[in-house]
């Protein structure tokens, strides 16, 4: 079956602009996660959704970052007033129910470059 | 939160030679651990995971890892590598009821003929 998909695959924007990154999880997966991977580092947790609600947004770096999942499937990560430091690969993952130790399936990521 | 450290940033290895990638974690309480592989321009793919039980975990593509509680380690091994094993490898962990993963910085494996 289809895996996790993310669009766009690459996004170039200017400092101060607004961007939206989209994630389509595996069909039937109720849990969805966003991570951010900076150059030379491992992914860092941003936010976790269980269904439509954000169960844990403790990893969001500041209030410029926001994510939604209105129908419990597709999720959008929104970044306002982008800064050069936001440049990174944004990864989305999904899992069946969101339990501890459950396998998270990752998408290919969106590479964001803020000029 | 679980903290994970990968001890080698780069590991060059010749084809058909064995390889070991080292990973240490910070807590021994209700820990669970993963190894993921990232091929160029692809997403992270699960190689194997440890939740409980047998400390020797076998994964895909001939990889295995051993959970060592006394040394707080979860090293990944493969007895004979192929050119196609060239990739970046990430160790990740979580603790207790925590669903979010903490990742190491990654180890780049380059297999040469």
Look at A109 and B43 and tell me if their CB atoms are within 8 Å: yes
**What does the alpha-carbon distance between residue B75 and residue A105 come to, in Å, rounded to a whole number?**
22
- The per-residue pLDDT for B68 is 93
CA distances (Å), origin B46, targets A23, A57, A107, B36? 19, 24, 12, 4
**What does the alpha-carbon distance between residue A78 and residue A94 come to, in Å, rounded to a whole number?**
18
With beta carbons under 8 A apart, name residues in chain B contacting A102. Answer: 99
The 8 Å CB, 24+ separation contacts for A65-72 are A67/A34, A69/A32, A72/A30
* Beta carbons of A48 and A31 less than 8 angstroms apart: yes
Task: Read off the pLDDT band of A98 (50, 70, 90).
Answer: confident
Residue whose C-alpha is closest to residue B36's, from A104, A20, A24, A75: A104
Q: Inform me whether the pLDDT recorded for A13 exceeds 90.
A: yes
- The per-residue pLDDT for B2 is 66
- Note the pLDDT tens digit of each residue in B65-76: 999 999 999 999
Residue numbers of chain B with a pLDDT score lower than 50: none
Q: Inform me whether the pLDDT recorded for A1 exceeds 60.
A: no
Place of tokens 């597709």: A74
Q: What is the dihedral of CA B50, B52, B54, B56, to 10 degrees?
A: 20
Mean pLDDT of chain A: 94
Comparing A2 with A114, which gets the higher pLDDT? A114
- The per-residue pLDDT for B85 is 97
CA distances (Å), origin B33, targets A14, A16, A76, B24, B85? 38, 38, 28, 10, 21
With beta carbons under 8 A apart, name residues in chain A contacting B107. Answer: none
Q: Which residue in chain A has the smallest CA separation from B38?
A: A108
Share of chain A above pLDDT 90, in %: 84
**What does the alpha-carbon distance between residue A115 and residue A113 come to, in Å, rounded to a whole number?**
6
With beta carbons under 8 A apart, name residues in chain B contacting A106. Answer: 36, 43-45
DSSP B60: G
Nearest CB partner across the interface for A48, out of B32, B99, B102 = B99
- The per-residue pLDDT for B28 is 62
Burial B30-48, CB ≥16 within 10 A → b, else e:
ebbbbbbbbeeeebbebbb
Put simply, whether B89 touches A (Cβ < 8 Å) is no
Q: CB B22: neighbour CB atoms within 10 A?
A: 17
State the Rg of chain A over Cα.
13
Q: Inform me whether the pLDDT recorded for A48 exceeds 70.
A: yes
pLDDT mean over A62-81:
96
- The per-residue pLDDT for A17 is 98
Distance from CA of A45 to the nearest CA of B (A): 7
Q: Inform me whether the pLDDT recorded for A40 exceeds 90.
A: no
Lowest mean pLDDT of A12-16, A63-67, B31-35, name the range. B31-35
Interface of A with B (CB under 8 A): 3-4, 31, 33, 35, 40-45, 48, 56, 59, 91, 93, 95, 98-109
- The per-residue pLDDT for B1 is 61
pLDDT mean over A82-91:
97
Give the SS3 label for residue A12: strand
Look at B101 and A31 and tell me if their CB atoms are within 8 Å: no
DSSP codes joined into one string, A43-109: -EEEEEEETTEEEE-TT--STTEEEE-TTSS-EEEEE-S--GGG-EEEEEEEESS--TTPPPEE---
């Amino acid at each position: 079956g289809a895996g996790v998909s993310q669009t766009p695959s690459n996004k170039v924007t200017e400092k101060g602009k607004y961007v939206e990154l989209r994630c389509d999880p595996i069909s039937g997966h109720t849990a969805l996660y966003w991570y951010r991977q900076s150059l030379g580092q491992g992914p860092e947790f941003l936010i976790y959704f269980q269904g439509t609600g954000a169960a844990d947004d403790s990893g969001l770096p500041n209030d410029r970052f926001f994510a939604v999942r209105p129908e419990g499937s597709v999720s959008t990560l929104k970044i306002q007033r982008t800064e050069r430091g936001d440049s990174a690969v944004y990864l989305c993952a999904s899992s069946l129910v969101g339990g501890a130790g459950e396998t998270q399936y990752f998408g290919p990521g969106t590479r964001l470059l803020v000029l | 939160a679980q903290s994970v450290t990968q001890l080698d940033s780069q590991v060059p290895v010749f084809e058909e030679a064995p390889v070991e990638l080292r990973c240490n974690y910070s807590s021994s309480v209700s820990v669970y651990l993963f190894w993921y592989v990232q091929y160029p321009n692809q997403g992270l793919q699960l190689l194997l995971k440890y939740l409980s039980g047998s400390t020797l975990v076998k994964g895909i593509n001939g990889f295995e890892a051993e959970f060592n509680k006394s040394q707080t380690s979860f090293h990944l091994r493969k007895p004979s590598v192929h050119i196609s094993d060239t990739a970046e490898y990430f160790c990740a962990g979580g603790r207790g009821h925590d669903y979010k993963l903490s990742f190491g910085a990654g180890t780049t494996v380059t297999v040469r003929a």
